[in-house]
């Protein structure tokens, strides 16, 4: 059952040290900044964070990294023009990095959420990222065996939720949110607005509420509405 919270601090309560945390977003689009800020205040540490990037600028995921709370990053694209926080930690040997091709990152979480034990994927065959992994030839093509990526917690930003936990997203801020919501034991979502059941068109729901545990309302401050 989904619970709705007025405060992000209440929504992130109970995240334990050593947790694996999925963090939505592609760059800053879809980044659940307010939930991350609440996680910083909450204090959990020694985290493994799974996210497409390894933080941008000094806010959101970058702020969590700067606090020294992340033991390991699992991501596809850590190095960017504004990833100075991660870059510094990595070069100082203060954070582990697992680089995963972006599609494998998404599909491994999808598999975790869908009860798939493992899957054969053509991505990365013959590259360093497939070294040591089991391969199989199927109909003349070589595939690499990839395992699900499941987590204790997912932090996701959506646009609007209803009280059932059904979610709709906004434009490319959707990105990893719907997949991450399925792959964690506890899925925590920040939205701009919560509406009563019936307030969302059931045909337009992207993430059904069965995947969502906690919703926190964070009114938008950026000016991007509609």
Partner 1 sequence: MTVTVREHTDRGPLSRDEIAARIARDIPRGAYVNLGIGQPTLVADHLGPDSGIVLHTENGMLGMGPVAVGDQVDPDLTNAGKIPVVELPGAAYFHHADSFAMMRGGHLDVCVLGAFQVSAGGDLANWHTGAPDAIPAVGGAMDLAIGAKQVVVMMTLLAKDGTPKLVRDCTYPLTGVGCVDRLYTDLAVFELGPGGAAVTETFGISYDELAARLDVPLRPGA
Name the minimum Å distance from CB 6 to partner 1. 24
Residue 4: both structure tokens together: 């709705």
Q: Binding to partner 1 by residue 224, rule CB under 8 A?
A: yes
Q: Binding to partner 1 by residue 68, rule CB under 8 A?
A: no
CB atoms within 10 A of CB 217: 17
Name the minimum Å distance from CB 53 to partner 1. 9
Name the minimum Å distance from CB 27 to partner 1. 4
Supply the DSSP symbol for 192: S
Quick one: CA torsion of 155, 38, 29, 118, rounded to 10 degrees? -20
Supply the DSSP symbol for 203: G
Of 2 and 104, which CB lies nearer to partner 1 in the complex structure?
A: 104
Stretch that binds partner 1, among 4-12, 63-71, 101-109, 208-216 (CB under 8 A): 101-109
Residue 220: both structure tokens together: 């938008």
Contact, 20 vs 50, CB < 8 A? yes
Name the minimum Å distance from CB 97 to partner 1. 7
Count of residues of this chain found to bind partner 1 when the rule CB under 8 A is applied? 51
The per-residue b/e assignment along 9-31, b for 16 or more CB within 10 angstroms, e otherwise, is bebbeebeeebbbbbbbbbbebb
Give the per-residue contact string, 117-146, with partner 1 (x = CB under 8 A; - = no).
Answer: ----xxxxxxxxx-----------------
Give residues 70-99 in contact with partner 1 (rule: CB under 8 A). Answer: 76-80, 86-87, 90-91, 97, 99
Supply the DSSP symbol for 106: H
Give residues 187-206 in contact with partner 1 (rule: CB under 8 A). Answer: 206
Q: Candidates 37, 107, 146, 162: give the one binding partner 1 (CB under 8 A).
A: 107
Give the per-residue contact string, 20-49, with partner 1 (x = CB under 8 A; - = no).
Answer: ------xxxxx-------------------
Q: Candidates 103, 197, 198, 202: give the one binding partner 1 (CB under 8 A).
A: 103
What's 109-136 look like in SS3? HHHHHHCCCCEEECCCCCCHHHCCCCEE
Of 31 and 44, which CB lies nearer to partner 1 in the complex structure?
A: 31
Supply the DSSP symbol for 15: P
Supply the DSSP symbol for 205: -
Q: Bridge-partner residues for 189, per DSSP?
A: 156, 215
Name the minimum Å distance from CB 77 to partner 1. 4
Q: At which residue do the structure tokens 């545990």 appear? A: 213
Please report, as ranges, the residues that interact with partner 1 according to CB under 8 A.
26-30, 52, 56, 76-80, 86-87, 90-91, 97, 99-107, 109-110, 121-129, 169-179, 206, 222, 224
């Amino acid at each position: 059952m989904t619970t709705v919270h007025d405060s992000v601090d209440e929504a992130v309560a109970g995240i334990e040290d050593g947790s694996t945390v999925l963090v939505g977003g592609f760059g800053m689009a879809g980044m659940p900044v307010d939930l991350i800020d609440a996680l910083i205040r909450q204090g959990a540490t020694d985290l493994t964070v799974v996210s497409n990037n390894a933080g941008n600028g000094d806010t959101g995921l970058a702020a969590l990294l700067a606090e020294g709370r992340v033991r390991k990053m699992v991501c596809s694209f850590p190095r960017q023009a504004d990833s100075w926080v991660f870059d510094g930690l990595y070069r100082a040997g203060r954070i582990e990095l697992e680089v995963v091709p972006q599609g494998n990152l998404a599909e491994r979480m999808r598999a975790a959420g869908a009860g798939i034990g493992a899957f054969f994927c053509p991505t990365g065959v013959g590259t360093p990222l497939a070294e040591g992994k089991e391969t199989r030839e199927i109909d003349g093509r070589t595939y690499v065996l990839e395992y699900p990526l499941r987590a204790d917690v997912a932090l996701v930003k959506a646009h609007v939720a209803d009280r059932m936990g059904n979610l709709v997203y906004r434009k490319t801020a959707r990105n990893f949110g719907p997949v991450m919501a399925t792959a964690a034991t506890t899925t925590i979502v920040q939205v701009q607005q919560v509406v009563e059941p019936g307030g969302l068109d059931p045909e337009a729901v992207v993430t059904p509420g069965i995947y969502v545990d906690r919703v926190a309302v964070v009114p938008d401050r950026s000016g991007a509405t509609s």
